[in-house]
């Protein structure tokens, strides 16, 4: 067991931290205030190699391991998770292509991301299909040598600016999640951006409704096998949830650092408030949650890098890091007192940003369902107990299988 980073990983983390400090954090609060699209920052991040980090070398990417990706995303979260989400979302869209696309499809669409600073979006969630993916209404119908897509996807990160989309649609309307297929869809005139969301937090991240209106794509744009898209989505989320957890750690770390520094400067009752045990214990708890969240995140990424199934580990990491980010930022506002409630001070933005971490890529409740299923149905449970659990958790199991939530 070795918690030491390689020299290359240390250099990468330093690069990401310096970028977050100089290019992201100094403008983050202005971007948040106006909900401004960070195009200039996207182009700079692409130039220095901090985007598309998991694209294999044969398609023009650096082919970084998953742990290295988590190091970058923690720094993005520390700088501004809204801008960081804009920078990192290509990873979510490209993973199903990397897993299920043909060599020709991968060369075309992954290559598109590495040749220019272009964007792609992951389209799973619908107005009536969040955690319950089987409720989706978007359809894909085979007509000759083409697929024709119709439907609406909501809460789509970078949806307004994407050049192509990974889209999940029903190819068998009566088969629930077993009737879902995945497609790569280039943007054309039949792809309509219907709405840009005005959000509580992560306001520099574009979140839009994307409508597919008789959108035709070639037959070879099916990713993986027909009606096996749900499995592809779950494989994707196992690979991307460590990055989400890392970004949550970054948010929590930023709030902890602001609160710790403020507690040493703010004087009440004749001493810095850090000298009061009530505040000191809050700071100590923040520090522990940051450290524990990072270790869970690194474990979930390291398992992937070793080729080991990480479903349980990434749910542990995502659930704990997201909930901890929310708890840390709320406590940071408390440490600032009334000033924490004022937009002039940094922690209220972090509190708003933290909330989405408990919602997208599987809510904290869905993560608990995944964890419960894994630990209760695992090999450590004796057979009579396992059978009883199977009987009592049929509904929960269905919910677990459809654990995707808003992305």
pLDDT tier, 377 (very low <50, low <70, confident <90, very high otherwise): confident
pLDDT, tens digit, for every residue of 208-249?
Answer: 999 999 999 999 999 999 999 999 999 999 999 999 999 999
Determine what percent of the chain is predicted with pLDDT higher than 70. Answer: 93
Q: Is the per-residue pLDDT at 252 higher than 60?
A: yes
CATH 2.40.110.10 region(s) of the chain? 120-229
What pLDDT, on a 0 to 100 scale, did the predictor assign at position 162? Answer: 98
Q: Give me 376's structure tokens.
A: 């209760």
d(CA 160, CA 22): 27
CATH 1.10.540.10 region(s) of the chain? 7-115
pLDDT, tens digit, for every residue of 314-329?
Answer: 999 999 999 999 999 9
- When comparing pLDDT for 264 and 398, which is higher? 264
pLDDT, tens digit, for every residue of 262-321?
Answer: 999 999 999 999 999 999 999 999 999 999 999 999 999 999 999 999 999 999 999 999
Q: Where are the beta strands (DSSP E) in 126-198?
A: 139-143, 146-157, 164-170, 180-186, 191-196
Burial 128-153 (b: 16+ CB within 10 A, else e): ebbbbbbebebbbeeeeeebbbbbbb
pLDDT (mean) for 6-31? 98
Give residue for tokens 């979006």: 121
What pLDDT, on a 0 to 100 scale, did the predictor assign at position 402? Answer: 46
Q: Is the per-residue pLDDT at 382 higher than 80?
A: no
Pair type for strands 164-170 and 120-123: parallel
* Residue 1 half-sphere exposure toward CB, CA atoms < 13 A: 3
Q: Which one of 104, 361, 387, 397 is the catalytic residue?
A: 361
Burial 37-68 (b: 16+ CB within 10 A, else e): bbeebbebbbeeebbbbbbeeebbbbebbbbb
Burial 263-272 (b: 16+ CB within 10 A, else e): beebeeeeee
Determine what percent of the chain is predicted with pLDDT higher than 90. Answer: 91
CATH no. for 120-229: 2.40.110.10
What pLDDT, on a 0 to 100 scale, did the predictor assign at position 1? Answer: 77
Question: What pTM value is reported for the model?
Answer: 0.93
pLDDT (mean) for 81-101? 98
What pLDDT, on a 0 to 100 scale, did the predictor assign at position 406? Answer: 42
Q: Is the per-residue pLDDT at 353 higher than 80?
A: yes
Q: Is the per-residue pLDDT at 404 higher than 90?
A: no
CATH 1.20.140.10 region(s) of the chain? 230-401
Q: Is the per-residue pLDDT at 384 higher than 70?
A: no
pLDDT tier, 378 (very low <50, low <70, confident <90, very high otherwise): confident
pLDDT (mean) for 190-198? 95
CATH no. for 7-115: 1.10.540.10
197 carries an active-site annotation: no
What pLDDT, on a 0 to 100 scale, did the predictor assign at position 380? Answer: 43
- Contact yes or no for 197/187 (Cβ under 8 A): no
pLDDT, tens digit, for every residue of 22-73?
Answer: 999 999 999 999 999 999 999 999 999 999 999 999 999 999 999 999 999 9
- When comparing pLDDT for 1 and 34, which is higher? 34
Q: Is the per-residue pLDDT at 98 higher than 60?
A: yes
d(CA 389, CA 377): 7
- Contact yes or no for 70/239 (Cβ under 8 A): no
What pLDDT, on a 0 to 100 scale, did the predictor assign at position 212? Answer: 98
pLDDT (mean) for 334-355? 98
- Of 29, 55, 21, 23, the closest CA to residue 42 belongs to 23
What pLDDT, on a 0 to 100 scale, did the predictor assign at position 393? Answer: 47
Spatial neighbors of 355 by CB under 8 A, at least 6 apart, are 200, 201, 326
d(CA 92, CA 188): 21
Phi, psi of 165 (to 5 degrees): -135, 145
pLDDT (mean) for 386-404? 46
Q: Is the per-residue pLDDT at 386 higher than 60?
A: no
Q: Is the per-residue pLDDT at 345 higher than 80?
A: yes
Superfamily of domain 230-401 in CATH is Butyryl-CoA Dehydrogenase, subunit A, domain 3 (1.20.140.10)
- Of 150, 243, 226, the closest CA to residue 190 belongs to 150
Q: Which of 187-191, 231-235, 287-291, 385-389 has the lowest mean pLDDT?
A: 385-389
């Amino acid at each position: 067991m070795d918690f030491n980073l390689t020299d290359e990983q240390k250099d990468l983390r330093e690069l990401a931290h310096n970028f977050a400090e100089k290019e992201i954090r100094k403008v983050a609060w202005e971007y948040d205030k106006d909900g401004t699209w960070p195009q200039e920052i996207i182009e700079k991040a692409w130039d220095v190699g901090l985007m598309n980090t998991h694209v294999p070398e044969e398609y023009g990417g650096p082919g970084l391991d998953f742990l290295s990706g988590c190091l970058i995303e923690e720094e993005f979260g520390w700088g501004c998770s809204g801008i960081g989400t804009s920078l990192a979302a290509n990873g979510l869209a490209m993973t199903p292509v990397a897993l299920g696309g043909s060599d020709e499809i991968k060369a075309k669409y992954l290559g598109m991301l590495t040749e220019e600073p272009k964007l792609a979006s992951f389209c799973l969630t619908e107005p009536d299909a969040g955690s319950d993916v089987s409720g989706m209404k978007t359809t894909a119908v085979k007509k000759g040598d083409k697929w024709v897509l119709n439907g609406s996807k909501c809460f789509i990160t970078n949806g307004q600016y994407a050049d192509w989309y990974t889209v999940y649609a029903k190819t068998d309307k009566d088969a629930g999640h077993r009737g879902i297929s995945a497609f790569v869809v280039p943007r054309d005139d039949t792809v309509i951006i219907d709405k840009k969301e005005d959000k509580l937090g992560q306001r520099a991240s574009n979140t839009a409704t994307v409508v597919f209106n008789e959108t035709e794509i070639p037959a070879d744009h099916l990713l993986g096998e027909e009606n096996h898209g749900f499995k592809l989505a779950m494989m994707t989320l196992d690979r991307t949830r460590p990055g989400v957890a890392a970004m949550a750690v970054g948010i929590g770390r930023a709030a902890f650092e602001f609160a710790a520094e403020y507690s040493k400067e703010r004087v009440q009752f004749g001493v810095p408030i850090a000298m009061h045990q009530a505040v000191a214990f809050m700071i100590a708890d923040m520090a522990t949650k940051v450290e524990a969240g990072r270790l869970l995140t690194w474990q979930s990424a390291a398992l992937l890098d070793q080729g080991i199934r990480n479903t349980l580990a990434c749910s542990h990491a995502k659930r704990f890091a997201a909930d901890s980010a929310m708890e840390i930022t709320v406590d940071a506002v408390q440490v600032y007192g009334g000033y924490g409630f004022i937009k002039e001070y940094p922690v209220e933005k972090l509190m708003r940003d933290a909330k989405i971490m408990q919602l997208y890529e599987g809510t904290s409740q869905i993560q608990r369902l995944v964890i419960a299923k894994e630990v209760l149905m695992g090999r450590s449970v004796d057979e009579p107990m396992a059978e009883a659990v199977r009987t009592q958790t049929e509904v929960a199991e269905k919910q677990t299988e459809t654990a995707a939530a808003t992305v």
